[in-house]
Structure 1
């Protein structure tokens, strides 16, 4: 099983004793998805809403810490996954829909990931 959350981030550099031009750049940031049921598997629920970052300020702080650089902007691009991961995710979600306040697995996926799930072989 394999899955990755993909984000577009804008990073600003502010080095001591030097200047940069430009002082910011865009990059693709990929965060491996935890296997369904494992610690961290609810990343999508905690960070995303309808295919967008739910709390941009909190995510920028999180990404800045991960990258050890000042992230000034970010946007969610996709959950890139394979069939096995997506199937396991659906089973795990379906086991308890209450924490998602939803009536179906499909509703949960739409609610948090929008149309940004891309299955690759």
Structure 2
């Protein structure tokens, strides 16, 4: 299984005893997706809504901690996944759709990821 949450982030450098010009940079960040059912697999539910970042300040802190910089802007791009991971994700969601306040797997995926799932082999 291979999957990652892809974000575009802008971050700022504020070095001690120095200056940077430019001091703002943009990059793409991939956060490996945790295997469905394992601790941390609900990143999509906890961070996203309709294919967008659900809570920008929280997402900036989340990504800033991983990058070690001050993230000033974040946009969700996609869940980049292989077919095996997507099937495992769907199976885990189907086991308890009430956890997501939804009727079925398709509703859950749309509710949190919108149309931002890209299957790649």
Measured against the shorter chain, the TM-score band is over 0.9
1:61 deviation in Å? 1.0
Tell me which residue corresponds to 2:66: 66
Distance in 1 separating the partners of 2:61 and 2:55 = 10
TM-score, normalised via structure 1 length: 0.98
Distance in 1 separating the partners of 2:75 and 2:41 = 20
Tell me which residue corresponds to 1:29: 29
1:16 deviation in Å? 1.1
1:19 deviation in Å? 1.1
TM-score, normalised via structure 2 length: 0.98
List gaps (5 residues or longer) in structure 1: none
Tell me which residue corresponds to 1:86: 86
1:76 deviation in Å? 0.2
List gaps (5 residues or longer) in structure 2: none
Residue correspondence of structure 1 range 1-121 to structure 2 within 5 A: 1-121=1-121
RMSD value, Cα: 0.5
